[in-house]
A and B are shown apart, each in its own frame.
Chain A
Amino acid sequence: MNPRALGAWAVSGVTIALATGNPVYRVLVLLCALNVLIALRRPGVSIRGLVVALLVATAIAVATTTLASHTGDHAFLMLPSGIPVIGGRLTLEAALFGLATGIGIAAAVLAAAPLSLVLEPHALVDALPPALARTGAAIGTALNLIPGIARSATEIRDAQRMRGWRPRRVREWPDLAVPVVLTALEGSITLAEAMEARGYGSGMRTHYAEEAWHRADVAVAAVAVVAAMLFVALRISGVVSDWYPFPDVSAPPVSIAGVACCLALAAPLVAWRR
Chain B
Amino acid sequence: MTVASLRGFTYRYPNASRAALDDVDLDVDDGITVVAGASGSGKSSLLRVFNGLVPHFHGGTVSGFAEVCGRDVITTPTRTLAAQVGFVFQDPELQAVYPTVERDAAFGLENIGTPPTLMLRRVGEALERAGIAHLRSRAVATLSGGERQRLAIAGVLAMNPRLLVLDEPLSQLDDEGAAALVTTLVDLAHQGTAVVVAEHRFEKLGMVQGRRIAVDGGRAVSVEASSGIPAAARPLRPSAHPRPTGPVAWRVDGLATGPLRTPVLEGVTLEGRTGEVVALVGPNGGGKTTLLRTLAGLLTPISGTVERAPGRVAFLPQNPMALLHRASVAAEIAWTVRRDPAAGDATDLMAELGLANLAQRDPRDLSTGERQRAAIAAVLAGSPQIALLDEPTRGMDDGARDALCRVVLRMRAAGCSIVLATHDINLARSVADRIVSVGAGAASELVAVGVA
Contacts and interface: CB of A to CB of B under 8 A. Distances in A.
Contacts of B123: 208
B336 A200 contact: no
Contacts of A190: 89, 91, 94-95
Contacts of A148: 141
Given A122-B99, A144-B99, A183-B325, 7 more contacts: A147-B99, A158-B322, A161-B298, A194-B94, A195-B97, A208-B116, A210-B116
A196 B82 contact: yes
Q: Which of A121, A163, A164, A192 has the most CB of B within 10 A?
A: A163
Nearest to B315: A162
B31 interface: no
A205 B317 CA distance: 37
Interface string B74-109: 000011101100010101001111110011001111
Interface in A173-215: 178-179, 182-183, 186-187, 190-210
B237 interface: no
A155 B324 CA distance: 12
Given A186-B364, A197-B82, A158 B317 contact: yes
B315 A200 contact: no
A158 B97 contact: no
A159 interface: yes
Contact of A202 (B83, B335, B378): B83
A272 interface: no
A161 B313 CA distance: 10
Contacts of A147: 99, 141
A122 B141 CA distance: 15
Contacts of B319: 155
A205 B116 contact: no
Interface residues of A, number: 47
A159 B315 contact: yes
A182 B83 CA distance: 32
A199 B83 contact: yes
B55 interface: no
B336 A194 contact: no
B78 A196 contact: yes
A42 interface: no
A191 B107 CA distance: 13
Given A164-B336, A206-B113, A197 B96 contact: no
Nearest to B298: A158
Nearest first, the 8 closest Cβ-Cβ pairs linking A and B are: A164-B339, A199-B82, A179-B325, A199-B111, A208-B106, A198-B108, A162-B315, A202-B79
Contacts of A205: 110-111, 113
B53 A206 contact: no
Contacts of B94: 187, 190-191, 194
Contact of A208 (B83, B96, B109, B317): B109
Given A182-B364, A197-B87, A159 B323 contact: yes
A67 to B, nearest CB: 45
A144 B98 contact: yes
Contacts of A155: 317, 319, 322
A141 interface: yes
Contacts of B80: 202
A140 interface: yes
B116 A207 contact: yes
A162 B314 contact: yes
8 contacts: A163-B339, A163-B378, A197-B78, A198-B111, A200-B111, A205-B111, A207-B116, A208-B109
Contact of A204 (B113, B159, B364): B113
B209 to A, nearest CB: 27
A182 B141 contact: no
B225 interface: no
Given A162-B296, A164-B339, A208-B120, A199 B57 contact: no
A198 B89 contact: no
A206 B117 CA distance: 11
B113 A152 contact: no
Contact of B325 (A178, A192, A199): A178
Interface in B9-52: 51
Nearest to A185: B364
A253 to B, nearest CB: 48
Contacts of A199: 79, 82-83, 108, 111-112, 159
Nearest to B381: A163
A162 B112 contact: no
Contacts of B159: 198-199
A186 B51 CA distance: 21
A268 B159 CA distance: 38
B392 interface: no
Nearest to B155: A198
Contacts of A140: 97-98
A209 B120 CA distance: 9
Interface in A72-88: none
A122 B113 contact: no
B303 interface: no
B243 interface: no
A201 B119 contact: no
B197 interface: no
Contacts of B397: none
Given A122-B103, A162-B379, A163-B339, A202 B57 contact: no
B57 A200 contact: no
B339 A208 contact: no
A117 B145 CA distance: 29
B141 A203 contact: no
A155 to B, nearest CB: 4
B235 interface: no
Interface in A135-159: 137, 140-141, 144, 147-148, 151-152, 155-156, 158-159
Given A159-B323, A162-B298, A165-B339, A193 B53 contact: yes
B216 interface: no
Contact of B57 (A141, A179, A196): A196
Q: Which of A147, A159, A200, A203 has the most CB of B within 10 A?
A: A159
A208 B110 contact: yes
B133 to A, nearest CB: 16
A49 B292 CA distance: 35
B115 interface: yes
Contacts of A121: 99
A191 B93 CA distance: 10
Contacts of A194: 89, 94-95, 97
Interface string A232-246: 000000000000000
A193 B296 CA distance: 34
A192 to B, nearest CB: 8
